[in-house]
Structure 1
Amino acid sequence: MFASILRADTPASVAIQLDLIPGIADPENPENGAVIAMLEDAGWLSPNPVGVIGSLLYELPKPPPSMVVLRSALRVSEVGAKKVWKEFEGYEALSGLTHLAAMPDPDEYRTDLRSAFPWCSEIIDDIAGELSLAARLGRPHFALPPLLLVGRSGVGKSRLARCMAGYARVPFTQLSAGGASDSRALAGTARGWASAYPCLPLTIMRTYNIANPLLCVEEIDKAADSRHNGRISDVLLTMIDPATARQYYDECLQMPADLSAVSWVLTANNAERVDPLLRARCRVLEVPRPRPEHFGVIMTGVTEDVALEFGVAVSDLPELPGEIVESMRSGFAAGDLNARQFAVLHRRALIAAARAEKLARN
């Protein structure tokens, strides 16, 4: 057993004695490290030992990626800290190691997204390219640079963001900035208010115990510009910039939080209406409109979305009459329906089909 790691002039009695050690062939045997060290000190190991050493030394699996989100200056033993943790139950877990969802295979990620959004193949290649670079440089967890998806209403920007999170198996939430008069939905509220709550990224992290969710802020070009109660664009600037994201100060918990692992996707119809400073910190990607040949893919996508919403299989949904499907196909090909309108019409058709099934049973 030890021929491949012992020098040729090692006494035969040494190999015999090694074979007599109980459990020596078990890679989890804690004595194996000491045995190998002894052989090395005695000069009995071959110059390039291979084979058996790998099987004798038990290698602990690499721990999953994790990070500390809350680096609180308060100690949990302090009365003030205990009061904070009790009031905001669950957030204390973020002061320990918080799990990071692992990096998906970039090639598989690209394939999955392109199959669901074939009209977005170019921007998907850019997104997957970011993951390929990060994986090449050793990043073990999923993270994307801030993205600004720009395109007409109904081209699938929000659904693309949701699928980007889904295929990476990271938590996802979306927030509409359209018409928002303040930043509370994103930044939370300061402690002292009766309804105080931490910022949205920390809320998502606490809910899922994962430090690298994907957050989508929709219609950022329609956010209110008044600074009276805080602009959502100003808050985003501090959350997505790497220099400030690592030390984002949460006014509710009154401590710095590390938001650097959060992936941000912003959507807009018009990039020129997005705050210039915010736009400069994002990778701007133009989302094209799907073409008539993409009807089948879109039909599959909206059908799967409905099935997922109700927690059923696609086969459990009411079957749409062929003439309805063809009517939808014609409207889509003529440009009368965008992807969002298509989803609304599809749902109405499902409702009508469910009613027809009920009448048929009665």
Structure 2
Amino acid sequence: MTDDVNDRVARLRDAFFRAHHDRLTLAGYLGSTTDLLRGGPLYRQSLLDDGHEWLREYLPLMQSGGAATAALVDKLETFHDTFSAPDAYAAAKEALDLLSGQRLAGVTPKLLRRIADVAMRCMYYSWLLGHRRAGWHVARMAFELAMDSTSEVAQVEFLGTAVAAGMARGTFNREKAHADGIAQAARLGSLARDFLTAKASPTSEQKGRISEAVGTALRDLMDNPPGHVQSDIYQVEDFEPEVEEQPRPGLVVVGDLSHLPQRKAEGPYAEFLPLSNVRLAARPMPDLPGTAASLRAAFPWMEGVVDRVLETQVGKAFPALPPLMLVGPPGCGKNELARAVGAALGMAVTEYPCGGTSDATFGSTSRQWHSGRACVPLQAIRRAMAPNPLLVLDELEKAGTSRRNGALIDVLLGMLEPGSRKAYFDAFIEAPVDLSGVSFVATCNRIDALKGPLLDRFLVLEVPAPRAQDREVIAQGILARMREESGIDPRFLPDLDHVELDALRVWKGGSIRPLRRAVERLVALRNSPGLAH
């Protein structure tokens, strides 16, 4: 490439960034998706900060779409938690599927534009995080933007991203890749101009020069019909066309609902139509050794229980626990472990307090009653739009035993039986539903009040009480949950220091609840030392 071309590219970049670059970077400005596709700076010069700041703005916007965008919201939340290339790609593909499908009836044009932006932004993040197939999508999007732009500066910058995305594979230097892409775009432009000149006056000399300098890709370029040019631009040496991904594992939970009345805007038909004959995808099984290590670190007094729980997941396509019963003294962390296992395996968690329950509504209520509703597991599936939620049955031994209005225990007998849960009849929608992907984890302080048939359906695991040597891990975990629940930045609620941890030495093990109250007291004292007196 000549010095003149180098100077031209430099001038074009300067024309745009001279007025904007310092303001964007120093002020922490979150650039638009088209800014990024033009090579603009990331928020705070950090890909992670840019992604989290953008998600903080866009997640509420997507949640406003209700059921139509529920699956997209779930994938965006997963991407926020993992910030990985596969999850960014999954969110982008979900947005593209939404735009090309029939699920957006009644959605406003403004929300449609935002969903399109989600597709572009998440695909761009996926490419920067190293996803191989995302580069092809980014190249195509950037090329189309370059062709639609009326600004010469924007055309060059979009084309730079297009060529960089078409060439780059895996982890790379973003700024260098964009600069190399612009340089390559300039070279291709020069070759294409020579080719057009030669095509207009096809002398033998020009044909020979074209054959040597341009090659097969640019010769084919001129023979393509309109709209297919971009696919040839990216025929570089290591380009691989997109390979269709294998479908994620999942289940069809709800079948045909045509037997239900369809006249009402509310009711079982309207409520569960989004699930009817739809295969709900589940998140694939995570790395089990890594999951086990993180759970053991968080619950060191329950290492044996953690290992036994995760043993049940070996060889499965997606997470689905057998019925588990965690039995241990009050305050030993049974519910915390159940929630942590669900989160680590990517399952949506629903806690159901069993204490004092004296009816059978857990198993659904007929729509003939004004208070009719689906069974609790099906409601959890609908909220998660996934076939494998986790239900935590808290204090199951305290459930009522009267059968006057039905009993929770009797309902569970049918739901936990492998043969019947595959086609559990829900009285609200008057049809069988597949609950085989639902995980049930019961917590109990004692099991002597439970009947044999119910216990036979659970894998019963004894949970020991935490020990004094687990104090620091538990205390720091309590503080981390306080930060998560309140949304406070870790910089404003840092971990407990050695002085604060020394103050907790009075806790010698047993129930975690007194330790939690002590940690809350220490946090309060940080801002109001006078409370110590």
Give structure 2 stretches of 5+ with no counterpart.
1-215, 222-238
Q: What is the DSSP-based 3-state SS (H/G/I as helix, E as strand, rest coil) of the residue aligned with 1:112?
A: helix
Cross-structure match for 1:265 = 441
Cross-structure match for 2:247 = 63
What is the CA distance between 1:194 and its match in structure 2? 1.9
Cross-structure match for 1:350 = 523
What is the CA distance between 1:271 and its match in structure 2? 2.1
Q: Distance in 1 between matches of 2:264 and 2:293?
A: 45
Q: Distance in 2 between matches of 1:157 and 1:84?
A: 43
Cross-structure match for 1:276 = 452
Over aligned residue pairs, what C-alpha RMSD do you find?
Answer: 2.8
Q: Are 1:339 and 2:521 an aligned pair? A: no
Query: Is 165-174 or 317-326 further displaced after alignment?
Result: 317-326
Q: How many pairs are equivalent?
A: 297
Query: Is 154-163 or 273-282 further displaced after alignment?
Result: 273-282
Query: Is 195-204 or 55-64 further displaced after alignment?
Result: 55-64
Q: Distance in 1 between matches of 2:245 and 2:323?
A: 32
What is the CA distance between 1:283 and its match in structure 2? 0.7
Q: Are 1:246 and 2:400 an aligned pair? A: no
Q: Are 1:173 and 2:350 an aligned pair? A: yes
Look up the equivalent residue of 1:331 and give its one-letter code: V
The higher-RCO structure (CA 8 Å, 6+ apart) is 1
1:183-332 superposed matches below 5 A = 183-184=360-361, 186-317=362-493, 325-328=501-504, 330-332=505-507
Cross-structure match for 2:272 = 91
Q: What is the DSSP-based 3-state SS (H/G/I as helix, E as strand, rest coil) of the residue aligned with 2:461?
A: strand
Q: Distance in 2 between matches of 1:230 and 1:345?
A: 42
The answer to whether the 8 Å contact 2:359/2:407 transfers is yes
Look up the equivalent residue of 1:61 and give its one-letter code: E
Cross-structure match for 1:27 = none
The answer to whether the 8 Å contact 2:288/2:310 transfers is yes
Q: What is the DSSP-based 3-state SS (H/G/I as helix, E as strand, rest coil) of the residue aligned with 1:343?
A: helix
Q: TM-score, normalised by structure 2?
A: 0.52
The answer to whether the 8 Å contact 1:107/1:128 transfers is no
Q: Distance in 2 between matches of 1:322 and 1:103?
A: 38
What is the CA distance between 1:151 and its match in structure 2? 0.3
Look up the equivalent residue of 1:91 and give its one-letter code: F
Deviations 1:47-78 (A, max 9, x none): xxxxxxxx999742101112111123x42xx6
Distance 1:353 1:230, change over 3 A: farther
Give the alignment partner of residue 111 of structure 1, picking from 285, 293, 297: 293
The answer to whether the 8 Å contact 1:119/1:288 transfers is yes
Look up the equivalent residue of 2:329 and give its one-letter code: R
Look up the equivalent residue of 1:206 and give its one-letter code: R
Cross-structure match for 1:148 = 325
The answer to whether the 8 Å contact 1:240/1:260 transfers is no
Q: Are 1:126 and 2:308 an aligned pair? A: yes
The answer to whether the 8 Å contact 2:479/2:495 transfers is no
Give structure 1 stretches of 5+ with no counterpart.
1-18, 24-54
Look up the equivalent residue of 2:516 and give its one-letter code: A
Structure 1 residue runs of 4+, over 6 Å off? 19-23, 55-58, 318-322
Q: Distance in 1 between matches of 2:392 and 2:284?
A: 20
- What percent identity do the matched residue pairs reach? 31
Distance 1:320 1:140, change over 3 A: closer
